[in-house]
Copies of this chain bind each other. A is one copy, B any other.
Amino acid sequence: MNNVIINDRFWSGKQKLLVSTLIPYQYSALNDEIVGVEPSHAIENFKIAAGLSKDKFYGCIFQDSDVGKWIEAASYALSIKKDKKLESKIDKIVSYMQLAQQEDGYLNTYYICHPEIKRFSNIVHGHELYCAGHLLQGAIAYYKVSKKDKMLNILKKYIDLIIKTFGNNDNQIKASPGHPEIEIALMELYELSKEKKYLDLTNFFISVRGEKPNWFESEEAFINAEKRYFDLSYNQAHKSIYEQEIADGHAVRALYLSAGAAALAKESNNTKLYEVLKNNFNNTINKRMYITSAFGSQGYAERFTVDYDLPSDRAYAETCASIAMIFFAQKMFEIQPLHIYSEVIEKALYNTVLAGLSLDGTKFFYVNPLKVIPIVSKYRQDMSFIQVRRQAWFGCACCPPNIARILGSLNKYIYVVKDDIYINLLIASTYNFNNNQIKLKCSIPNSKSISLTILKAMREKIYLRIPKWVDKVIVKKDEHISYYQDKDYLCLYDIKDKANIVLCFSFTPKIIYSNSRVSNEVALSYGPFIYALEEVDNVSDLSSLMIDIRKKIKIKKEKELNGYVSLIAEGFIKTNNELYSYHKPQLTKTILKFIPYHLWANRDEGEMSVFVNYK
């Protein structure tokens, strides 16, 4: 866990924010100490289930998952910076879990606090397996960082009960999880323990999808649900995993499932499953992905809709869905190191995931629209899920701890070891392995210079990913190392002691054209960042702006918002006072200023748009 140390101007700041703010803030939130927000009660629920509190369960049916995710994120924070007090906070929660756990291993505070509701009677919407998955991931991460196995053992006991409960036998429940997630966790447990039973359960959960008749159809919660959007596809149970050709249904569910299935394909060397997932991945990113690597086009049922239906102003684009896609793409890369997987990870990370978090680390976006006109989105019923400002917390608080998880585990995504070593993200860091060390120095987008130093000779190659936004790679210095460049990578080989290569990733602002079904306007990017117009930098009506794409777009280093690079473009402002007119609108020259999308809504409330009209 500690073999990659991040030392990056941009990302180290985010990790410091994780340690200093996100983890303590979210702990306070889970303990209902944040004033003026929907209480979480998540930790209190464990105390109630443990018999330590007389209070009543409160919160969503899946409230336990927030605790699992927070423990996982806190464990990552501990790997970045030791903190005994934080450890003892986790230990305290674990002690509640121990007391709450039922004799047979069962552990879910909602059901323990509601003995009148039958356990495992609502697989489709009951979230027991989902919560188990998140608790298990927390247990694994905490075990890895602390070597304490109490929580892990609690969860293993619970998983044993789940193994007994679910399966193909007559007395077992033959259902897939209503909200996939546990598959990812089980595969982590398998990777840790190599115990086959965890692989088998995952395999069952993945393979049972598409069974006819479907278990869910016998459950009241499914029968009573509105079938238009809460059909079997909502839970990805409508088809066999081998027939699921594109992400469908609830966006986070779909992408968690794919992440779990990819982990299974990897560990079980299931090439057929991998190929199916690869096709699903490609279809999804080519037909159902927002330009910010965000997913889910409909607020109602938080769903995928139909191909190319990607409205900017009603994007659901849940932060969690982009995080789920990162999990999925990463596992896919671990199976087959394709450039496209890393591209999507990078785009999701630098845009939607970061947009989910305020600069001060205490406010969050759940939904990430690509266009906002506050007066409209605040009014319209079909935009009721759009927030124009980040929120301090949510009744359903899945996104904040998910952002914390990803910030804490960033090191996983930089280096991937297959036969060779792949460097996928340009995050300055040191990778220690087998008594060797790779040092990556860079500071994108402030500097275009990149330096790689390898301590000792190695026979493996290093593949440095060349992002698609790089125009040209210029090698400035190479010592004790050879290299060649293909379209996706700079391949370093014949690496000797104290090898070093210094190069420049030359890149410029890019104009991005969309499929016309998505937009007939353009978006800008610079490096890994997608850009956006904000009212505060421009005019109050962003729709009146046009960028002149014939003119060069300038970059400017800005000091505000912790420092960023803005894009300054020439363009026009349209004047059309009439609602409809036979007269072509007058164009007046103006300057457009774009900021990285993830920074939007950190200043005055106003319009925002990723896409802009062009001439």
User: Which residues A562-615 have CB closer than 8 A to chain B?
Assistant: 574, 576-585, 613
User: Is B513 a contact partner of A291 (Cβ separation < 8 A)?
Assistant: no
- Residue picked from A300, A382, A468, A544, most chain B C-beta under 10 Å: A382
Q: Tell me whether A512 is interfacial, beta carbon within 8 Å.
A: yes
Q: Tell me whether A229 is interfacial, beta carbon within 8 Å.
A: yes
Q: Determine the distance from Cα of A579 to Cα of B574 in the docked complex, in whole angstroms.
A: 28
Contact of A541 among B299, B512, B517, B521 (CB under 8 A): B517
Q: Closest CB of chain B to A590's CB: distance in Å?
A: 13
Instruction: Give chain B residues whose Cβ lies under 8 Å from the Cβ of A582.
Output: 468, 510-513
User: Is B513 a contact partner of A581 (Cβ separation < 8 A)?
Assistant: yes
Q: Determine the distance from Cα of A285 to Cα of B579 in the docked complex, in whole angstroms.
A: 8
User: Is A580 a contact partner of B512 (Cβ separation < 8 A)?
Assistant: yes
Instruction: Give chain B residues whose Cβ lies under 8 Å from the Cβ of A171.
Output: none
A306-B375, A376-B305, A520-B613 are known contacts. Are A287 and B513 too (CB-CB below 8 A)? Answer: no
User: Which residues A265-316 have CB closer than 8 A to chain B?
Assistant: 285-287, 289, 291, 297-301, 305-306, 308-309, 314
Q: Determine the distance from Cα of A297 to Cα of B373 in the docked complex, in whole angstroms.
A: 15
A300-B381, A300-B382, A516-B585 are known contacts. Are A306 and B576 too (CB-CB below 8 A)? Answer: no
User: Is B306 a contact partner of A379 (Cβ separation < 8 A)?
Assistant: yes
Q: Tell me whether A146 is interfacial, beta carbon within 8 Å.
A: no
User: Is A574 a contact partner of B541 (Cβ separation < 8 A)?
Assistant: no
User: Is B580 a contact partner of A513 (Cβ separation < 8 A)?
Assistant: yes
Q: Tell me whether A543 is interfacial, beta carbon within 8 Å.
A: yes
Q: Tell me whether A514 is interfacial, beta carbon within 8 Å.
A: yes
Q: Tell me whether A228 is interfacial, beta carbon within 8 Å.
A: yes
Q: Tell me whether A515 is interfacial, beta carbon within 8 Å.
A: yes
Q: Tell me whether A518 is interfacial, beta carbon within 8 Å.
A: yes
Q: Closest CB of chain B to A194's CB: distance in Å?
A: 40
Q: Which residue of B lies closest to A288 (CB)?
A: B579
Q: Tell me whether A551 is interfacial, beta carbon within 8 Å.
A: no
User: Is B314 a contact partner of A382 (Cβ separation < 8 A)?
Assistant: yes
Q: Closest CB of chain B to A516's CB: distance in Å?
A: 4
Q: Which residue of B lies closest to A612 (CB)?
A: B520
User: Is A514 a contact partner of B286 (Cβ separation < 8 A)?
Assistant: no
User: Is B376 a contact partner of A306 (Cβ separation < 8 A)?
Assistant: yes
Q: Tell me whether A118 is interfacial, beta carbon within 8 Å.
A: no
Instruction: Give chain B residues whose Cβ lies under 8 Å from the Cβ of A515.
Output: 576-580
Q: Tell me whether A559 is interfacial, beta carbon within 8 Å.
A: no
Q: Tell me whether A196 is interfacial, beta carbon within 8 Å.
A: no
Q: Determine the distance from Cα of A28 to Cα of B411 in the docked complex, in whole angstroms.
A: 72
User: Is A513 a contact partner of B583 (Cβ separation < 8 A)?
Assistant: yes
A305-B376, A314-B382, A376-B305 are known contacts. Are A518 and B289 too (CB-CB below 8 A)? Answer: no
A-side interface residues, number (CB < 8 Å):
52
Instruction: Give chain B residues whose Cβ lies under 8 Å from the Cβ of A521.
Output: 520
User: Is A543 a contact partner of B517 (Cβ separation < 8 A)?
Assistant: yes
Contact of A579 among B518, B576, B578, B584 (CB under 8 A): B518
Instruction: Give chain B residues whose Cβ lies under 8 Å from the Cβ of A580.
Output: 291, 512-515, 518, 523
User: Is B380 a contact partner of A309 (Cβ separation < 8 A)?
Assistant: yes
User: Is A513 a contact partner of B576 (Cβ separation < 8 A)?
Assistant: yes
Q: Closest CB of chain B to A275's CB: distance in Å?
A: 22
Q: Closest CB of chain B to A3's CB: distance in Å?
A: 35
User: Is B579 a contact partner of A301 (Cβ separation < 8 A)?
Assistant: no
User: Is A541 a contact partner of B516 (Cβ separation < 8 A)?
Assistant: yes
Q: Determine the distance from Cα of A583 to Cα of B510 in the docked complex, in whole angstroms.
A: 10
Q: Determine the distance from Cα of A523 to Cα of B578 in the docked complex, in whole angstroms.
A: 15
User: Is A286 a contact partner of B376 (Cβ separation < 8 A)?
Assistant: no
Q: Closest CB of chain B to A545's CB: distance in Å?
A: 8
- Residue picked from A300, A380, A514, A543, most chain B C-beta under 10 Å: A380
Q: Determine the distance from Cα of A523 to Cα of B381 in the docked complex, in whole angstroms.
A: 27
- Residue picked from A375, A468, A512, A516, most chain B C-beta under 10 Å: A516
User: Which residues A123-175 have CB closer than 8 A to chain B?
Assistant: none
Q: Closest CB of chain B to A300's CB: distance in Å?
A: 4
A229-B381, A298-B380, A582-B511 are known contacts. Are A516 and B309 too (CB-CB below 8 A)? Answer: no
Contact of A298 among B298, B375, B382, B517 (CB under 8 A): B382
Q: Determine the distance from Cα of A544 to Cα of B308 in the docked complex, in whole angstroms.
A: 13
Q: List 30 A-B pairs, Cβ < 8 Å.
A: A228-B381, A229-B381, A285-B579, A286-B578, A287-B579, A289-B579, A298-B380, A299-B382, A306-B379, A309-B373, A309-B379, A468-B582, A512-B580, A512-B582, A513-B576, A513-B580, A513-B581, A513-B582, A513-B583, A513-B584, A514-B579, A515-B577, A515-B579, A516-B544, A516-B574, A517-B541, A517-B543, A518-B579, A520-B543, A520-B613
Knowing that A309-B380, A512-B581, A512-B582 are A-B contacts, what are 20 other residue pairs whose CB atoms are under 8 Å apart, sorted by A's residue number?
A291-B580, A298-B381, A306-B379, A468-B582, A512-B580, A513-B576, A513-B580, A513-B581, A513-B582, A513-B583, A514-B579, A515-B576, A515-B578, A515-B579, A516-B541, A516-B576, A518-B580, A520-B543, A520-B574, A520-B613
7 closest A-B pairs (Cβ-Cβ)? A382-B382, A300-B381, A516-B543, A516-B544, A520-B613, A309-B376, A306-B379
